Amino acid sequence: MRLIIAILLTLSVAHSKEIALTFDDAPGDTTLHFKPEQRTDELIRKLKGLKVPPVIIFANPCNGNGPKSNFAQLTKFKNAGHIIGNHTCTHPRFDDVGPDQFVADTVNAENIIGSLMGETKYFRYPFFNEGKIVAARDQFRAWLS
């Protein structure tokens, strides 16, 4: 499961010496090792056991077992004290779909997980692809802000 592999550490030594631990593509699909629900429970258990402070779970609520199952799993993360971020609904590559479809996909995700997101909303581009065409990139950035 990419969730485990896609652990992303962001180290900002120059400013505040903080580390943000984030997980992308949650809750994800069934893999050789886990069903999505098992992975969610195991990840929450391990983070708690290691006394890891809240992490950001960047979710794709339309993927995996679908919105209903994903919402239930993301609710478990939220109830365990973690932060839910928007990673679009279906994880499209910005340059493949363009700003209008990318906005629609992001709104679809927000419609499913918006109630789980905090007052400060977090978003991460799938594939870290913000777009090669400046006008398209700026269009989405303007909408996002």
Looking at residues 15 to 34 of the shown chain, list those that interact with Zn ion (rule: CB under 5 A): 24-25
Nearer to Zn ion, 9 or 50 (CB): 9
- Residue nearest to Zn ion according to CB distances in the complex: 24
The verdict on 105 binding Zn ion (CB under 5 A) reads no
DSSP-derived pairing of the beta strands 18-26 and 83-86: unpaired
Residues between 106 and 145 with contacts to Zn ion, criterion CB under 5 A: 126
Q: How many CA atoms lie within 13 A of 20 on its CB side?
A: 12
**Residue 53 CB, nearest distance to Zn ion (Å)?**
22
Residues near Zn ion (CB under 5 A) are 24-25, 126
